[in-house]
Amino acid sequence: MPLVLILVVVFAAALVLYRNWQGGAGSGKESRETATSTSPGGGAPVTAPPFSLPDINGNVYSSDRFAGKPTVINFFATWCPPCREEIPGFVEVYNRHRGKGFELIGIALDKETRENLPGFIMNNGIEYRILFGDLATTRAYGGVSSIPTTFFVGKDGRIKNVHVGYIDTDTFDREVQKLL
């Protein structure tokens, strides 16, 4: 009996690890938690990893374009309820601060629903840059495993804060103001 129990536990753990590895960032976790830390590992701020990703028109944007600017990078998906709920607040805060050099980049982790992204952008009045994410980028950002996940990057290119889960408009605005 103990051997069977051990095998079941090992199998379950292997299955969870495999799903997290295989699913990457698009695993479908839809957290409404508001876990926050100062950097991906909770230690000193680290430099935001570089990326080059396409937008909905196929134009490739490099993170170099945002160097020296206070930037927020939000990993999301159009099918994720908490992601959709925080978008109006993102639009409001972006419109309020973009004249101050603030950049907001949405990295869409949609796979099967990529064709919905142009309509989603238009229907939500999104004027900030939306790019198609990939597994390499999510891994570079610490293996984004829950969406939405939002990275606050200072003018120095270092990650100042990471917020996992839904973020309300007031909290988002306070975090952006810290970057400015």
Give the residue among 73, 153, 9 at the shortest CA–CA distance from 17: 9
Q: String of b and e for 151-172 (b: at least 16 CB within 10 Å)?
A: bbbbeebebbbbbbbbbeeeeb
104 occurs within a structural domain? yes
1 occurs within a structural domain? no
Burial of 104 per CB tally in 10 Å (0-12, 13-18, 19+): buried
pLDDT tens per residue across span 111-150: 888 888 999 999 999 999 999 999 999 999 999 999 999 9
- Asked if 144 and 75 count as a contact pair (C-beta separation under 8 A), the reply is yes
Q: Which CATH number do you get for residue 130?
A: 3.40.30.10
Q: Which amino acid is residue 21, in one-letter code?
A: W
d(CA 124, CA 140): 28
Residue ranges making up the domain that contains 34 = 25-179
108 occurs within a structural domain? yes
- In the chain, the number of structural domains is 1
For residue 135, the SS3 value is helix
Binning pLDDT at 50, 70 and 90, where does residue 2 land? low
